[in-house]
C-alpha cells in the first residue's frame, strides 16, 4: 500500500494554505494561482508552472523553510492512524511531493510513524505526475508495480500512480470526485477502508 501524504494520511490543507498565503503576501502576489495547482506537486514545479519568471530554486528554499516549522492545522485524516498501525514495515510506504524534513514533521505532528520506505521530493528527479516516486517505492519494497495499491487525493497523484501501472484509490479530501474519475474506487477517508492484514497478504474492503 503506497500512500501519498498530504490529504491522504495527514490533513495539511490549512497548513499549506497558511504558508503559501504568507509567502505570496511578502512578495505582493496573489496566492490563488499557486494554490490551484500546488496540491500533489513539488513546490519547485508549482512555481515553474505558475511563475516561470521566478528563481524556482531560491523560492523553493524559502517555502520549504517556512513549511518545515509550520504545524498549525495539521492532524491525521480519519482512519489513518488505525490503518498504518495494522501494517508491517514491508506492507506500506509513503510517496510525497514534500521534502523529507517537511514530511517528517507532518507525520510526527499527526502522530503517525515514519515508514521504512519513505519517498520524498528529495529522492526523485521528476515529481508527480511522473511515476518515478511510485516505481522507486515499489522497488524498495521489493514488489512489482502490479502488486501495489496507491492512495491519492489529487489528479496529479492519480496520474502518477496510473503511469506507474498501479491501481489507484482516490481519497476525497482535497478534490471533487469528478476530478478523480480514473480511480478504481473513491473513499471519503481511510476510515471507510476495511483491512485484513495477515501473513498471506492484505485483503481490502470498502
**Three-state SS at 93:** strand
Report pLDDT for 174.
Answer: 87
Q: Is the pLDDT of residue 193 over 90?
A: no
Q: Strands 150-152, 2-3: parallel, antiparallel or unpaired by DSSP?
A: parallel
> Who wins on pLDDT, 139 or 191?
139
Residues 131-148 have a mean pLDDT of 97
pLDDT digits (tens, 9 = 90+) for 14-73: 999 999 999 999 999 999 999 999 988 899 999 999 999 999 999 999 999 999 999 999
Q: CA–CA separation, 39 vs 108, rounded Å?
A: 20
DSSP states of 7-66: TTTEE-HHHHHHHHHHHHHHHT--SHHHHHHHTTS-HHHHHHHH-TTS-HHHHHHHHHHH
Give the dihedral of Cα atoms 33, 49, 12, 124; nearest 10 deg: 180
| Closest by Cα among 8, 52, 39, 26 to 127 | 39
Report pLDDT for 198.
Answer: 62
pLDDT digits (tens, 9 = 90+) for 159-179: 999 999 999 999 999 888 999
**Three-state SS at 67:** helix
Q: Is the pLDDT of residue 195 over 90?
A: no
Report pLDDT for 110.
Answer: 97
Residue 153 near residue 40 (C-beta atoms within 8 A): yes
Report pLDDT for 55.
Answer: 97
Active-site residue flag, 4: yes
Report pLDDT for 166.
Answer: 97
Cβ-Cβ contacts under 8 Å for 2 (sequence gap 6 or more): 92, 93, 94, 95, 134, 137, 138, 148, 149, 150, 151, 161, 166
What are the percentages of helix, strand and coil residues in the chain, rounded to 5? 45, 15, 40
Work out the pLDDT band at 153, boundaries 50, 70, 90: very high
Q: Which domains does the chain have, with CATH numbers?
A: 2-11+74-205 (3.40.50.1000), 13-67 (no CATH)
Active-site residue flag, 11: no
pLDDT digits (tens, 9 = 90+) for 111-127: 999 999 999 999 999 99
> Who wins on pLDDT, 203 or 110?
110
Q: CA–CA separation, 206 vs 201, rounded Å?
A: 17
Work out the pLDDT band at 200, boundaries 50, 70, 90: low
Q: CA–CA separation, 22 vs 29, rounded Å?
A: 10
Report pLDDT for 194.
Answer: 82
Report pLDDT for 201.
Answer: 63
Q: How many CB atoms lie within 10 A of CB 158?
A: 25
C-alpha cell at position 168: 489507484
Amino acid at each position: 500500500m503506497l500512500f501519498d501524504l498530504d490529504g491522504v494520511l495527514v490533513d495539511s490543507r490549512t497548513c499549506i494554505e497558511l504558508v503559501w498565503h504568507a509567502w505570496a503576501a511578502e512578495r505582493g502576489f496573489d496566492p490563488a494561482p499557486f494554490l490551484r495547482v500546488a496540491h500533489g506537486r513539488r513546490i519547485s514545479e508549482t512555481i515553474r508552472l505558475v511563475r516561470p519568471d521566478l528563481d524556482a530554486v531560491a523560492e523553493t528554499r524559502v517555502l520549504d523553510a517556512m513549511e518545515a516549522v509550520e504545524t498549525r492545522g495539521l492532524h491525521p485524516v480519519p482512519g489513518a492512524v488505525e490503518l498504518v498501525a495494522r501494517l508491517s514495515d514491508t506492507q506500506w510506504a509513503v510517496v510525497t511531493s514534500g521534502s523529507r524534513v517537511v514530511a517528517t514533521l507532518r507525520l510526527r505532528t499527526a502522530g503517525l510513524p515514519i515508514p521504512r520506505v519513505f519517498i520524498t521530493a528529495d529522492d526523485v528527479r521528476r515529481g508527480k505526475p511522473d511515476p518515478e516516486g511510485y516505481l522507486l517505492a515499489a522497488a524498495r519494497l521489493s514488489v512489482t508495480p502490479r502488486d501495489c495499491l496507491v492512495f491519492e487525493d489529487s489528479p496529479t497523484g492519480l496520474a502518477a500512480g496510473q503511469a506507474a501501472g498501479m491501481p489507484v484509490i482516490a481519497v476525497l479530501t482535497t478534490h471533487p470526485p469528478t476530478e478523480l474519475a480514473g480511480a478504481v474506487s473513491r473513499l471519503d477517508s481511510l476510515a471507510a477502508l476495511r483491512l485484513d492484514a495477515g501473513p498471506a497478504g492484505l485483503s481490502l474492503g470498502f
